[in-house]
Amino acid sequence: MDDMKTLMADWDPFQFEQDMNYVHLNPDLEWKIANLPDSPGCYLMKHQGEIIYVGKAKNLKNRVSQYFRPSRQHTPKVRAMVSKIDDFDIMLVDGELEAFTLECNLIKLHRPHYNILLKDDKHYPFIRVDLKERYPRVQLVRRQEKDGAKYFGPFQGATVVREVLDVVRMVFPIRACAWQINPDKPRRPCVHHQIGQCPAPCAGMISEEDYLGTIHKVMEFLNGRYAPVLDEMKARMAEAAAAMNYERAAVYRDRIRAVEAVMQKQKAISTALGDQDIIAAMPHDADAMVQLMFVRSGRLIGSERFTLEGAGDEAMGDVLTQFILQYYDLENMPPQDLLLSVMPEEKGVIEQLLTELHGRRVYLSVPVRGEKRKLVNMAVKNLRDELHKIDKRNASSYARTTGALEELRDVLGLPTLPRRIEGYDISNTQGALSVASEVVMVDGLAANKEYRRYRIKTVEGANDFASIAEVITRRLSHGLKELEERRAQGLDAEGGKFSWLPDLILIDGGRGQVAAARDAMRALGLDIPMFGLAKRIEEIVLPDEEESILLDRHSNALHLIQRVRDEAHRFAIIHHRALRGRASIASRLDGVPGVGEKRRKAILKHFKTVEALREASAEDIAQVPGVPGGVAEAVYRFLREDGE
CA 324/CA 328 separation, integer angstroms: 6
Residue 624 in any domain: the answer is yes
Residue 183 in any domain: the answer is no
132-140: long-range contacts, CB 8 A cutoff, minimum separation 24? 134/181, 134/208, 135/175, 135/181, 135/201, 135/208, 135/211, 136/212, 136/215, 137/174, 137/175, 137/176, 137/177, 137/178, 138/165, 138/168, 138/169, 138/174, 138/215, 138/218, 140/165
CA distance readout (Å), 418 to 46, 415, 503: 38, 9, 5
- CATH number of the domain that 603 lies in? 1.10.150.20
pTM of this structure: 0.52
User: Is the pLDDT assigned to residue 315 strictly greater than 80?
Assistant: yes
- CATH number of the domain that 328 lies in? 3.30.420
- Nearest C-alpha neighbor of 363 from the set 332, 327, 324: 324
Q: E strands along 336-431, which residues?
A: 337-340, 363-365, 420-429
Count how many residues are written for the chain.
644
Contacts of 324 (CB under 8 A, 6+ apart): 279, 334, 338, 344, 350, 354
- Nearest C-alpha neighbor of 224 from the set 163, 138, 164, 169: 164
The model's pLDDT over 201-224, given as tens digits with 9 standing for 90+, comes to 888 888 888 889 888 888 887 776
Tell whether 423 and 518 lie within a shared domain.
yes
Sheet holding 138-141, edge to edge: 138-141, 126-129, 150-152
User: How many structural domains compose the chain?
Assistant: 4
The model's pLDDT over 401-428, given as tens digits with 9 standing for 90+, comes to 999 999 999 999 999 999 999 999 888 7
pLDDT at 503: 94
Beta-bridged to residue 290, according to DSSP, are 281, 306
Helical ranges in 278-369 per DSSP H: 316-327, 347-358
pLDDT at 121: 45
Cα 298 from chain centroid? 31
What is the radius of gyration, based on Cα positions, of the chain? Answer: 35
CA 623/CA 629 separation, integer angstroms: 9
The model's pLDDT over 531-576, given as tens digits with 9 standing for 90+, comes to 998 876 788 888 878 788 888 888 899 999 999 998 888 888 876 6
Residue 186 in any domain: the answer is no
Residue 68 in any domain: the answer is yes
Tell whether 443 and 342 lie within a shared domain.
no
The model's pLDDT over 518-532, given as tens digits with 9 standing for 90+, comes to 999 999 999 999 999
Residue 189 in any domain: the answer is no
Q: What's the domain range around 361?
A: 276-397
Percent of the chain clearing pLDDT 70 (strictly above): 84
Residue 157 sits at the vertex; the CA angle it makes with 212 and 363, to the nearest 5 degrees, is 75
Residue 40 in any domain: the answer is yes
Choose between 337 and 433: higher pLDDT: 337
Helix (H, G, I), strand (E, B) or coil at 489: coil
CA 153/CA 301 separation, integer angstroms: 8
Average pLDDT over residues 383-398: 84
Residue 164 in any domain: the answer is no
What is the β-pairing status of strands 504-507 and 530-534? parallel
What is the β-pairing status of strands 41-47 and 299-309? unpaired
Q: What are phi and psi of 269, to 5 degrees?
A: -105, -75
What band does 58 get if pLDDT is binned at 50, 70 and 90? confident
